[in-house]
Chains A and B, each alone.
Chain A
Amino acid sequence: MLLRDILNMPTSSAIDRIRVIDGPNAVDLEREGAQSAPSLPRFTDAPGINSKTALAVKGLGKTYTTQNGTNTVLRDVSFAINAGDSVAIVGANGSGKSTSLRCAMRLIEPTTGEIFLEGRPLMGLSGLALRKARSKVGFVFQKHNLSTRLSVLSNVLHGGFARGCGIRNWTHSIAPKEERDRALDCLDQVGLADLAGRRADQLSGGQSQRVAIARALMQGPSLIFADEPAASLDPKAGEDMMALFSDLCRRTGLTLIVVSHNLEHALAYADRLIGLQAGSVVLDRKSTGLTREDLAWLYEETGA
Chain B
Amino acid sequence: MSLNETLTRAMPQRWQAPGLVPSLLFCVFIAFFAWSLSRAGISIPDLIAGIPAMGTIASEMVPPATDRLLPMMNSVLTTFQMALVGAGIGIVLSFPIAILATRTLSPHPIVYSATRAFVSFVRTVPDLAWALFFVASVGLGPFAGTLALIMDTIGFCGRFFAESMEEVDPGPSEALAAMGAKRADIIACAVVPAATPGLTNASLYSLEKAVRSSVVLGLVGAGGIGAELAVSMEMFRYDQAATIVLMIFVLVLGVERFSAYARSKFLDGARPKL
Q: Which residues, 198 to 230 on A, are CB-close (under 8 Å) to B? A: 199, 201, 212, 215-216, 219
Contact B178 A147 (CB under 8 A): no
Q: How far is the CB of A237 from chain B (nearest CB, A)?
A: 21
The total of chain B residues at the interface (CB under 8 A) is 21
Chain B residues, Cβ within 8 Å of A154: 189
Known: A107-B174, A143-B171. A150 touches B179 (CB 8 A): no
B122 on interface, CB distance cutoff 8 Å? no
A297 on interface, CB distance cutoff 8 Å? no
Chain A residues, Cβ within 8 Å of B176: 158, 161
Cβ contact of B189, chosen from A135, A150, A216, cutoff 8 A: A150
Interface residue tally on A, bucketed by range: 20 to 34
B182 on interface, CB distance cutoff 8 Å? yes
Contact A139 B171 (CB under 8 A): no
Chain B residues, Cβ within 8 Å of A212: 175
Bound Cα distance from A233 to B182, whole angstroms: 31
Cβ contact of B175, chosen from A132, A135, A139, cutoff 8 A: A139
Known: A150-B189, A150-B193. A145 touches B179 (CB 8 A): no
Bound Cα distance from A141 to B178, whole angstroms: 10
Cβ contact of A158, chosen from B171, B184, B185, B196, cutoff 8 A: B185
Residue among B175, B181, B189, B196 facing the most chain A CB atoms (10 A cut-off): B175
Contact A131 B180 (CB under 8 A): yes
Bound Cα distance from A215 to B180, whole angstroms: 13
Look across to chain B and name the residue whose beta carbon is closest to the beta carbon of A165: B185
Bound Cα distance from A169 to B269, whole angstroms: 24
Bound Cα distance from A130 to B175, whole angstroms: 15
Chain B residues, Cβ within 8 Å of A161: 176, 179-182, 185
A-B contact pairs, 8 of them (CB 8 A): A131-B180, A134-B178, A135-B180, A137-B178, A145-B174, A148-B194, A167-B188, A215-B175
Sample of 4 further A-B pairs with CB below 8 A, known A149-B196, A149-B270, A170-B188 = A139-B175, A147-B190, A162-B181, A167-B188
